[in-house]
Structure 1
Amino acid sequence: MWESWVDPGQLADILEKAIKAISEGNDVFVGTKTGSGKSMTYESFPVIKPGSTVLVIAPLLTIMSEQSEKLQKLGFKATYIGKNVSENEVIEQGKYDFVFGSPEVLVGDTKWREILKSDVYQKHMALIVVDETHTVVVMSIFINIFFVDSLFMYSDYRRVPNENDANNLTKSVLNFLWKYF
């Protein structure tokens, strides 16, 4: 049913617009089908802005592992928090193009919150990505713990989300992230 509102021929246009928007410093929400290339929007960022770090918040270790391996094969420096204790120091120094972490670690662990507030990350962290935002794990953590006063819900689940809905969700997520990081 939802495929009727996304023409597969337009996906390249959607991704191109998203990449252009993030390169111009705009907030972006990309919601397309699995395998459509959404990840390319943030994967392109270190090419657009060399020397920057992209923080990717993902709900599952398997996603973090697969994505960081894929990016390493493409020549990027990528890892995830919790992969290897010996990598933590390198992560703290901001030596990666991509750092993946779970919401529980990035928000729930004071150490990692402080690292992300450090001068190194404030200087180099140019993009924060919330991957798999539709998952119950990520959204339930954000909603139950942090979005008590700014809950975003669709009143009609059959209605196709529009640009204002995406903008409101993006603003809520980003306001949360900037408040805690």
Structure 2
Amino acid sequence: MAKPYISDFGIARAVGGDQLFGKTRTVVGTHGYMSPEYIMKGIFSMKSDVFSFGVLALEIVSGKRNLQFRHPDRELSLLGHAWMLWIEGTAVELVDPLMEDPFPISEVLRCIQVCLLCVQQHPEDRPTMSSVLSMLDSETAKLPQPKHPGFFAESSHSEIEYMPDGTPSVTNRLTYTLEAR
């Protein structure tokens, strides 16, 4: 029997109907996919879904799960790792090594750039889903440079325990680095 996941993806539609944005007192969903404004303030919008989409797409490109990702030298989330590779000009290192060669590097880099646009810290900086689709579909349109992602740093390793099957068990004492305006 399938579990009902009303807030994992499509939260703006599931909770807010046809509203452009809304606020809730109860935050439900899957850590690692929820937008910063939803987790911190209970504010959701279509841009919350864009954030979730960006996380999911980065997971697909990298072959790594956001909550299970651990950088060996830095305390970075998958989003932070992708961002650091992007600004260092080495974003191709994010690509899952199991991805079949040859793959068009320019298309993968474009996908990473679109993903980073989706996971930007501030919702007003994120594109709409229709813009995301247009950006992914077009190979010629110039894309804006992404800004700092939400949830750049990961919680400390001591606060995350792993179940025997490798599933993370996260306590409520998560700490995130958020960029102030």
Please report the TM-score for the alignment, with normalisation by the length of structure 2. 0.28
More helix by share: 1
Query: Relative contact order (C-alpha < 8 Å, sep 6+): which is higher?
Result: 1
Please report the TM-score for the alignment, with normalisation by the length of structure 1. 0.28
